[in-house]
């Protein structure tokens, strides 16, 4: 195994850059939670590992840009995936001043999210840090993903992304509006966007009550 370089540690996993099978890769190693019963912890960890791999593979099957799954090591709870180079969407927006170019990219993002949701893939942590701009936007970090046909779940996905835009990119309302405009492609999307408004209202109530 090649040397692993730690690039991020989150609440659920350590993320390394490495090489496997001759390919530059990301190794995402989930770690145990000491407060959980060992058998339950093992079951939950493996379940999330397998779900992330399934979601990535489902994306690839349906033409949604996401990293290839190279290997799933259940013993070490490690998922090896293709390394994708490029700035995150967060970095790209921060460095871009061309409004026309920004609008075109938001169209592509909206179309990709519509395609993902049309195949009932819920990302679970949609932020501008979890998209990498390569030839086109590539979705990464499916650690909280699930498969669900629920319009509510899809609306929450969009709401999380909207909050990421608001908190990270000042005056980005027009950018996210462009994402939603491109997302609205059929009746199913309209149902999700109606649910989004209900999710927003709940969010505003939580903000007011703390």
Q: Cα dihedral sign for 47, 158, 193, 104?
A: negative
d(CA 210, CA 192): 26
Active site residues: 125
Please, what is the Cα angle at 144 between 178 and 152, to 5 degrees?
55
Question: Strand, coil or helix: what is 178?
Answer: helix
d(CA 136, CA 113): 13
Please give the structure tokens belonging to residue 116. 């993902």
112 close to 137: Cβ distance less than 8 angstroms: yes
Q: Are strands 13-20 and 23-30 parallel, antiparallel or unpaired?
A: antiparallel
98 close to 171: Cβ distance less than 8 angstroms: no
183 close to 189: Cβ distance less than 8 angstroms: yes
Which bin fits 6, alpha (ψ -120 to 50), beta or left (φ > 0)?
Answer: beta
Which helix H or strand E contains 199, and what residues bound it?
Answer: helix 187-209
């Amino acid at each position: 195994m090649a040397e692993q370089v730690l690039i991020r540690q989150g609440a659920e996993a350590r993320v390394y850059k490495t090489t496997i099978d001759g390919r530059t890769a990301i190794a995402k190693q989930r770690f145990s939670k000491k407060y959980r019963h060992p058998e339950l912890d093992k079951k939950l960890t493996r379940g999330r590992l397998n779900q992330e791999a399934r979601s990535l593979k489902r994306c690839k099957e349906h033409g949604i840009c996401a990293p290839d799954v190279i290997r799933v090591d259940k013993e070490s709870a490690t998922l090896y995936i293709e390394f994708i180079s490029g700035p995150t969407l967060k970095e790209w927006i921060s460095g871009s001043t061309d409004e026309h170019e920004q609008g075109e990219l938001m169209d592509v993002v909206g179309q990709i999210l519509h395609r993902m949701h049309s195949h009932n893939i819920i990302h679970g942590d949609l932020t501008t840090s979890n998209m990498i701009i390569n030839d086109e936007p590539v979705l990464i970090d499916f650690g909280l993903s699930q498969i669900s046909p629920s319009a509510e779940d899809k609306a929450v996905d969009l709401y999380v992304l909207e909050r990421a835009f608001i908190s990270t990119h000042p005056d980005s309302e027009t950018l996210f509006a462009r994402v939603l405009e491109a997302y609205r492609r059929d009746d199913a999307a309209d149902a999700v966007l109606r649910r989004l408004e209900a999710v927003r209202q709940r969010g505003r109530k939580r903000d007011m009550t703390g």
